[in-house]
Amino acid sequence: MSVRLSPRLAAVVNALPLRPDSRVLEIGCGPGAAARAVAERLTSGHILAIDRSAAAIAQAEAGAAEEIAAGRMSVRQVAGEDFALQAQEEPYDLVFAVRVGALDGRHPEAGQRMLRRIAEATTPNARLFIDGGDPLRELVIPRP
């Protein structure tokens, strides 16, 4: 079943450099439409969709039962600036966020904390994309 996306979200998902085995982290997933569309493109990969809102996570979980059951997607309620890998969780090689104020410059202090968390949870060659480009722009993940 194909996920119906707004033209804007479809452009974002289509622009992501996904591979079938990508490990993807979506920050601020909302109801999870983009995460489900990414999950459809993964075979051995996985997407973790996070959001600070319990209601958003409940919606994402309900809408993605098939993708979650297949092991291609999981959801977690956590703010991006508090995200950390859990025990035995593999790092991510692709991160994206749409309309996340900490990453688009609206909340710079939270953004610095979030970038540190992303650096700790990703592979050395991981890439980070946010909306606001055409349709995406890439941010540098700060490495110590």
Map residue 20 onto helix, strand or coil: coil
Q: How many domains does the chain have?
A: 1
**The pLDDT of residue 38:** 98
The pLDDT of residue 63 is above 70: yes
Asked if the model's pLDDT at residue 32 lies above 60, the reply is yes
Residue 2 lies in a domain: no
Across 67-89, average pLDDT = 97
Structure token pair of residue 111 = 């953004």
Does a structural domain hold residue 100?
A: yes
**Helix (H), strand (E) at residue 117:** helix 108-120
- The pLDDT of residue 40 is above 60: yes
d(CA 31, CA 49): 10
Q: Give the Cα separation of 116 and 142 in Å (integer).
A: 7
Residue 1 lies in a domain: no
Residue 144 lies in a domain: no
Structural domain harbouring 122: 7-139
Give the CATH number of the domain where residue 116 resides: 3.40.50.150
Within a domain: 92: yes
133/21: higher pLDDT? 21
What is the rounded average pLDDT of the residues 69-95?
Answer: 97
